Amino acid sequence: MKTISIHGLAEEAEKLLKERAKSGRKSVNKTVKEILEKSLGLGPAPKDHRDEFVDLCGLWTEDEEKRFHEAIKDLGKVNPADWK
Residue 70, domain member (yes or no): yes
Residue 66, domain member (yes or no): yes
Range of the domain at 55: 50-75
> pLDDT: is 56 or 1 the higher one?
56
CA separation for the pair 64, 42 (Å, rounded)? 44
DSSP classification of residue 40: T
Q: What is the count of structural domains for the chain? A: 1
What percent of the chain clears pLDDT 70, i.e. is strictly above it? Answer: 100
pLDDT at 77: 86
CA separation for the pair 81, 84 (Å, rounded)? 6
Residue 71, domain member (yes or no): yes
Judge contact between 28 and 17, C-beta under 8 A.
yes
CA separation for the pair 37, 53 (Å, rounded)? 29
> pLDDT: is 43 or 65 the higher one?
65
The residues, any chain, with a CB within 8 Å of residue 24's CB and separated by 6 or more, are 31
Instruction: Provide the mean pLDDT of the chain.
Output: 90
